[in-house]
Amino acid sequence: MGIGGGLGVVLEGVRASVAALDALEREDASLAAGLDVGFDVGVGAGVDVLQRRYEIRLDRLELTSRLEAQLAAVKAQDAVDAVGFQEAMTPPDASVQDRTYAQMSVVEEIAGVLTVSSAGAGALVEQSRRVCSLPLVMNALAAGVMSWQHARVVADETEGLDAVGAAGLVAHFFDPDAPDPARGALPGELVPSRFRAKVRGWRERHHPESIQKRHVKGVADRRMEYTPDKDGMAWVSLYLPGDTACAIWNRTTATARGLQGPNEPRTLTQLRPDIAASLLLGAVQASGEGSTGTAPGTQGVTGIGKVPTPRADVLVTVPVFALLGATDEPAILDGLGPIPASMARRLVADGAESFYRVLVDPRDGAPLEIGRKNYRLTETIKRWIRLRDGKCTFPGCTNRTPDNETDHLQAWEHGGTTGTSNLAQLCRKHHRLKHHSQWTPGPATSKDPPGWTSPTGRFYNPEQQDSEPTHWPPGSLSPWLQREAAGKCQCLEASLENLPQWEPDDDRYVDLNDLPADDPLWAELLATPFALSSQG
């Protein structure tokens, strides 16, 4: 029952973590004593005592986090074992009712021991069962390399998957020898919300039931909720299709930014609810009077219950075959994640104003490189960096706002170029921190954002999006690719890398690798609508 090498192995890790904490405490006490008497005690001459005591605090925080994860593994295993022992003590011929009450009893006792609600104890038991049933996840938790919050993410996102689907998800993120392991930072190196986003993205692409079918079920569950709060306040929540919700948020934010100025005392956070309330109440009143219900900053509401097509400042990346309806591969809505291909097609057809088509490598789904020889950034490069990074690249930051700034990793005045391998997205807060501290970004590539090194020398791996090759409809591969896929080469990827130029050697055609990023052809290409052939 339980953790890979048994509970004893986990407790050994707990003891090692406690011993390391104790050693750091003794070292800190020695340094503190040296400060009191005016010299270093127990350390060599020339040690910066305050710097070392600062580093000890960080080391202890890191060890404490590891210890919390190890204890969470013990707690999860004990919860599962307690339920198992209770079931074993239940007579084999017990009725269904007796078994139900026995399970209720153990959950209530766990709730009493932990001083949590019955619902909380029940959730703990169910999450612990799923975590303990996934050895790679349990071993990572027991080793202290990720937190209980990360383990809960896996438990939540594997709910509803069969054993094969859950095993595939876990292998992708926790098994480095898997056929297609996750890239970038390890699960425990990502803040839980970002880890959930990556796990959910993979789950949506590989779920045995198409995202379109699940989306239809979700749409049927749309609702509005009202929750009174303290101090005369209340919450109003909308559960809506992702594109509509994203459009509401971005339109409200854009309107709020437009109202900001020297004579506007309200913050962006305060302006958003004021604008949303004004638009909603204004539209409802106007519709009740029989007019079109047009409110400032809206397209016009044709009546109660009529939801206009979102026209929001969002990016939608959709595989070409999904756009054409040949596959059901999910598209990606910036700020939300995977969406059904049907939703992406509707956004294109109905004119979402900021739908940007992006050239991607069909072998791995990653954006292609754009070169640049000047300091000034074009909108093309800014969009490119935004698509590659997905958010502010600083460790743990989840800021996805369009206000993020595109920054040179190596300063222009120090020889840095203005290409995608020397650019990254930073929110304003972390942009300022980079220029006023010793936080240092590493190099980026055309496909991957940079990692970061802290002032104390800790390196934080970059969070990388799990780009995958686009899905090809059956029978759509060219004869050459079909022969290669059938086994005429051992590595199709290597063969694709060595292919000659796709375009003929003809002056009428342009090699995109030689086309500068500021060339007007890029803007013309990105603005060109798809031309669908009438031939089969």
Instruction: Report pLDDT digits (tens) over 152-183.
Output: 999 999 988 888 989 999 999 999 999 889 98
> Domain-by-domain residue ranges, the chain?
7-209
The residue that leads in pLDDT, 496 or 303, is 303
With both helix axes pointing from N to C terminus, report the angle between 49-89 and 148-158 in degrees, rounded to the nearest 10: 40
Q: Once rounded to an integer, what is the mean pLDDT over residues 433-439?
A: 88
Nearest to 206 by CA among 152, 246, 170: 170
Two tokens, residue 160: 């509803």
Lowest mean pLDDT among 211-220, 268-277, 285-294: 285-294
Q: Once rounded to an integer, what is the mean pLDDT over residues 444-456?
A: 86
Q: What is the pLDDT of residue 496?
A: 34
Chain centroid offset of residue 49 CA: 39
Q: What is the pLDDT of residue 204?
A: 82
Query: Which DSSP string do the residues of 256-306 spell out, in sequence order?
Result: HHHH-STT--S-HHHHHHHHHHHHHHHHHHHHHTTS----TTS----STT-
Burial 500-530, CB ≥16 within 10 A → b, else e: eeeeeeeeeeeebeeeebbbeebeeeeeeee
Nearest to 466 by CA among 336, 370, 337: 337
Instruction: Report pLDDT digits (tens) over 207-238.
Output: 767 677 778 888 889 999 989 888 778 899 99
Return the sign of the alpha-carbon dihedral for residues 534, 368, 447, 352. Answer: negative
Residue 518 contacts residue 375 (beta carbons within 8 Å): no
Residue 329 contacts residue 471 (beta carbons within 8 Å): yes
- List the beta bridge partners of residue 339: 331
* Mean pLDDT score of the chain: 76
- Residues 202 and 318: their CA atoms lie apart, in Å, by 16
Residue type for 306, please?
Answer: K
In eight-state DSSP terms, residue 184 is B
Instruction: Report pLDDT digits (tens) over 466-481.
Output: 676 666 666 655 544 4
Q: What is the pLDDT of residue 99?
A: 87
Residue 364's pLDDT band, with cuts at 50, 70 and 90, is: low
Residue 59's pLDDT band, with cuts at 50, 70 and 90, is: very high
- Residues 328 and 337: their CA atoms lie apart, in Å, by 15
Residues 6+ apart with CB under 8 A from 232: none
Predicted confidence (pLDDT) at residue 384 exceeds the cutoff of 90: no
Helix (H) or strand (E) holding 425: strand 423-426
Return the sign of the alpha-carbon dihedral for residues 20, 26, 30, 32. Answer: positive
Number of neighbouring beta carbons within 10 Å of residue 374 = 11
Strand-strand pairing, 440-441 and 423-426? unpaired
- Residues 307 and 115: their CA atoms lie apart, in Å, by 46
Predicted confidence (pLDDT) at residue 505 exceeds the cutoff of 70: no
- Residues 505 and 445: their CA atoms lie apart, in Å, by 28
Helix (H) or strand (E) holding 76: helix 49-89
Q: What is the pLDDT of residue 518?
A: 61
Predicted confidence (pLDDT) at residue 306 exceeds the cutoff of 60: no
Instruction: Report pLDDT digits (tens) over 186-195.
Output: 999 999 998 9
Lowest mean pLDDT among 26-30, 139-143, 253-257, 338-342: 338-342
Residue type for 279, please?
Answer: L
